[in-house]
Amino acid sequence: MTTHPRQPRSPQLPRLLTSVEPTLDAHHQRFGALPEITKPELISALDAARLSGRGGAGFPSARKFASVRGAKPVVVANGAEGEPLSAKDAVLLMRAPHLVLDGLELAARAVAADKLYLYVPAHAAATVGRALGERRRARIDRHKPTVVEAPNTFIAGEESAVFSRIEGGPALPRDRTTVAAISGVRGRPTVVNNVETLAHIALIARFGPHWFRSVGDPDNPGSMLVTLSGALTKRGVFEVPTGALVSDLVERCGATDPKTVRAVLLGGYHGRWIAASAFDSTPVSGVGIVHALGRHECGLARTAAIADYLADQSARQCGPCRTGLPRLATLLTTLAYDSTDHTCVSEIRRLADLVDGRGACRHPDGTARLIRSALDTFSNDIEHHRHRRCESAVSAPPVKDERCSAKAATS
Amino acid sequence: MIDEALWAIGRGTGVMALAFLTISVALGIGTRSGRSLFALPRFAVADVHRFAALAGSILVLLHMTLLFFDPYAQLRFVDFVVPFLGAYRPMWQGMGTLAFDLLIVIVLTSLLRRRMGVRAFRAVHWVAYALWPIALAHALGNGTDAYRGWFLAFAGCCALTVGAAVVWRLRGDFTEYAEVRMSGRT
Amino acid sequence: MKSPARRQSRLHIDWTRCDGRGLCTELLPGVLARDPWGYPLTRDGSREPAIPAHDLGDAHAAVARCPRLALSLITSVPKTHRRGTLAT
């Protein structure tokens, strides 16, 4: 790998978020120009770095590029981020668009791509457009990406929904019989990378796999962006080593006493609830999203609100999801706000099992995962609710027909 | 005497064709309901629907071929595809031709269903709702037995069958799971 | 002498088309059950259930009969026989 003569110092932590100015000059000053790296060099560097995707699935990036088979491959940078609890992609695109665009250019070289797409929401389009303009004038890219606007829906970032939208249709999932590496956009071999993954690729190409692996979990190394929200003193997007524990994020990044936190929703609306007792044994994995539920808030009420949102966000193309998710939301609302018996919980479990795995995309699967984890993590509270009490209002007298004092706000 | 035989069987096959096409339309509506009907499992409802259409189509072809050779009908080959050019009762005859044209379209698209995709196939298949009344009108207008009691009774049964099926089609509880699937949200 | 790779047929359901009409559940009762809303439920819990050899005829019939064209049969070679290294 040829290195740039006046190479800037490799960043420790933060890495991606050292950028403050989104301009090309600031980018080159901080990180240096994109090195001339060949396709086999790049793939071998990514393989040695053990970089895995930062979009949630965590698939090894080198394998993903190597599995592309066929003519006229397509590369897509996915910045859709339909998850309301996540802001990392938006922040990255605003602060370091050139890292993402470097990564996209590298990805294009890695698969000898014919077409490049940037799939970003409306609010990022202007920044991305400006960055592309700068690069065009500086003539640093061999390829010219097309920007496609992603709608602001939860499932807009789902892989087949991305393909559909790029092809000019609606951003709704499609039936899949082959993997994207064989058939994606317009039937061509396609690689979709989360924008954060591309940013890491841009840095690995400059500073090497050894540098990349110097922080984080040895099995899945590097840094990752995590969005903190909820009942925390400090909220926002932070860059942490992979394998960081939930307790670290709450205490150090969130500047919050963990004793004030009832539970944490890890991984967003398709993630799982982590009880306070498990904070220091649970690393952040999947999508970097940590949403804290305060002691004064009710986990069941919050889950009911999330389930309601998820039911609403269903593409409504597939029977089990379209029929089952609204029923699950209704049952959870009943569980959270009315006094119920144990059949409610078993009915919720039965429905969660019924929708899981039965649809064109993983929306029902993720919803089922969230709901099951809520039933497990808040099982004590379920008992309280049956007696018209709530753990979040322990000091308050038992409620009659009022909802418990928690504000079940959707973020 | 051959002429009379041709004339009789030619018309007879027409009547039988109408019977089978009536069954096909009714069962086509039945297939849409997703229900098991008359002790037939669902896949059999679909199969009998297709069989009746096939039988009806064959009878239509026989009907046309036999009458082609019958001098009384005065049919030329062009009358098989282009409607309203016939010498004998051109308007009613033309309806028969029109019905046959529609039948060709329906049969061909049914055979090519997988290639066309569901939406295109359904759009074309709806033409069946036009085909059947046109075929019935042709039978009543063109048929020389149309004034006979037995034929009127038969035509009445066909009309009743399709009419009942259509009325059933328009009900809210037509499909088997329609009510169960209505959203559980209040 | 190696025996030839046996190709396993799997039933693929296009959920965006499926309307739960139930023809497939009648033709493949060993492979598919029906959920309370009429949609097919795979008995083995997988997304693409394997079709045993004796059910292949019925499986082809189900694929042809589905009024929504929601079914297809996918043949895959079992993993032990897969050639190539980096196929995902």
Domain boundaries, chain B: 2-181
Q: What is the dihedral of CA A272, A277, A282, A287, to 10 degrees?
A: 30
Does C86 contact A66 at a Cβ distance shorter than 8 Å? yes
Cβ contact A320–C87 (<8 Å): no
Which helix (H) or strand (E) is A337 found in, with range?
helix A319-337
What is the dotted CATH code of the domain comprising A220-294?
A: 3.10.20.600
pTM: 0.89
DSSP A174: -
**Residues of B with Cβ-Cβ distance to C27 under 8 angstroms:** 43
| C-beta separation of A293 from A256 below 8 A | no
Which residues from chain A sit within 8 angstroms of residue C18, using beta carbons? 318-319
Q: Please report residues of B whose CB lies closer than 8 A to that of A311.
A: 185
A326 and chain C: CB distance < 8 Å anywhere? no
Please give the single-letter amino acid code of residue B149.
G
**Is the pLDDT at B46 greater than 50, yes or no?**
yes
What six digits make up the tokens of A26? 């600031």
Contacts of B181 in chain A (CB under 8 A): 319, 323
Closest Cα in chain C to A64: C88
Chain A segment 298-317 residues within 8 A of B by beta carbon are 311
C19 and B118 in contact by Cβ < 8 A? no
Residues of A in contact with C41 (CB under 8 A): 354, 358
Flag whether pLDDT at A404 surpasses 50: no
- Render the burial of B158-176: b for 16+ CB within 10 Å, e for the rest: beeebeebeeeeeeeeebb
The per-residue pLDDT of chain A, averaged, comes to 91
Question: Average pLDDT of B39-61?
Answer: 96
pLDDT above 70: residue B175: yes
Q: What chain C residue is nearest to B29 in terms of C-alpha separation?
A: C67
Q: By C-alpha distance, which of A325, A11, A52 is closest to A194?
A: A52
Is C87–A69 a contact, with Cβ atoms under 8 angstroms apart? Answer: yes
Considering only the beta carbons, identify the residue of C16, C72, C87 that sits closest to A318: C16
Q: Does A35 touch chain B (CB under 8 A)?
A: no
Give yes or no for C34 touching B (CB within 8 A).
Answer: no
Q: Which has the closest alpha carbon to A303: A370, A232, A207, A206?
A: A370
**Neighbour count for residue A275 (Cβ, 10 Å):** 18
What are the tokens at A210? 């050894």
Q: How many CB pairs below 8 Å do chains B and C form together?
A: 39
Residue A185 has pLDDT above 70, yes or no: yes
State how far the Cα of B66 lies from the Cα of B7, in Å rounded to an integer. Answer: 8
**Contact flag B184-A327 (C-beta cutoff 8 Å):** yes
Residue A406 has pLDDT above 60, yes or no: no
Of chain A, the percentage scoring pLDDT greater than 90 comes to: 84
Of all residues in chain C, the one with the smallest CA distance to B183 is C37
Contact A358 C38 (CB under 8 A): no
Cα–Cα dist A172/C57, whole Å:
34
Average pLDDT per run of 10 along chain C, which is 88 residues long?
68 97 97 97 95 96 96 73 36
DSSP character for A230? E
Read off the pLDDT of residues A268-317 as tens digits, 9 standing for 90 and up: 999 999 999 999 999 998 899 999 999 999 999 999 999 999 999 999 99
Report the alpha-carbon distance of residue A265 to residue A263 in Å, rounded: 7
Domain spans in chain A, listed from the N-terminal domain onward: 16-214, 220-294, 299-393
Output the six-digit token pair for B76: 């030329």
- Span A83-99, average pLDDT: 96
Confidence of residue B141 (pLDDT cuts 50, 70, 90): confident
Q: Are A231 and A60 in contact (CB under 8 A)?
A: no
Residue C67 contacts B where some CB pair is shorter than 8 Å: yes
pLDDT in the model for residue B183: 63
Q: How far apart are CA A159 and CA A77, in angstroms?
A: 11
Closest approach of B40 to chain A, Cα-based (Å): 25
Nearest CB partner across the interface for B180, out of C37, C62, C65: C37
Q: What is the mean pLDDT of chain B?
A: 90
Cβ separation B181–A327 shorter than 8 A: no
Topology adopted by domain C8-81: Alpha-Beta Plaits (3.30.70)
- Chain A neighbours (≥3 Cβ pairs under 8 A) are B, C
Question: Which secondary structure element, helix H or strand E, spans residue A225, and what is its range?
Answer: strand A223-230
**Residue B1 confidence (pLDDT) above 70:** yes
C-proximal residues of B, 121-180, CB under 8 Å: 121, 176-177, 180
Mean pLDDT of the A200-213 span: 96
Rounded distance between C-alpha atoms, residue A233 and residue A370, angstroms: 25
Residue C67 is nearest to which of B31, B41, B176, comparing CB atoms?
A: B31
- Compute the average pLDDT of residues A220-225: 95
| Per-domain residue ranges of chain C | 8-81
Rounded Cα distance between A337 and A317, Å, is 30
Cβ contacts of C22 on chain B, cutoff 8 Å: 34, 42, 176
In this predicted structure, the answer to whether residue A26 has a pLDDT above a threshold of 70 is yes
Range with lowest mean pLDDT among A227-241, B43-57, B64-78, C8-22:
B64-78
The pLDDT score that the predictor gives to residue A136 is: 94
User: Are B180 and C26 an interchain contact pair (Cβ–Cβ within 8 Å)?
Assistant: no
Of C12, C15, C74, the CB nearest to A318: C15
Q: Which CATH number fits domain A299-393: 3.30.870.10, 1.10.1040.10, 1.20.210.10, 1.20.1440.230?
A: 1.20.1440.230
Please name which of A411, A401, A18, A400 lies closest in space to residue A207, comparing C-alpha atoms: A18
Contacts of C16 in chain A (CB under 8 A): 173-175, 317-318, 360
Q: Using CA atoms, how far apart are residues A185 and A248, in angstroms rounded to an integer?
A: 40
Is B72 near chain C, with CB under 8 Å? no
* Closest-approach residue (CA) in chain B for A320: B181
Look at residue A327 and tell me whether its pLDDT is greater than 50: yes
Rounded CA-CA distance A66/A49 in Å is 15
Q: Residue A401 pLDDT more than 80?
A: no
Interchain CB distance below 8 Å, B181 and A319: yes
CA distance C34 to chain A (A): 11
CATH architecture of A16-214: 3-Layer(aba) Sandwich (3.40)
- Give residue A411's pLDDT: 33
The closest CB to that of A319, out of C19, C87, C88, belongs to: C19
Q: Would the CB atoms of B42 and C26 count as touching at under 8 Å?
A: yes
Tell me the shortest Cα–Cα distance from B87 to chain C, in angstroms. 42
ipTM computed for the complex: 0.87
Q: How far apart are CA B70 and CA B144, in angstroms?
A: 14
- Say yes or no: C15 contacts chain A, CB-CB below 8 A: yes
Contact A51, A200 (CB under 8 A): yes
Any C CB within 8 A of A350 CB: no
Determine contact, residues A193/A60, Cβ cutoff 8 Å: no
CA A331 to mean position of chain CA atoms:
27
Q: pLDDT tier at B184 (50, 70, 90 boundaries)?
A: low
**Which residue in the set A311, A323, A330 is minimally distant from B181, CB to CB?**
A323
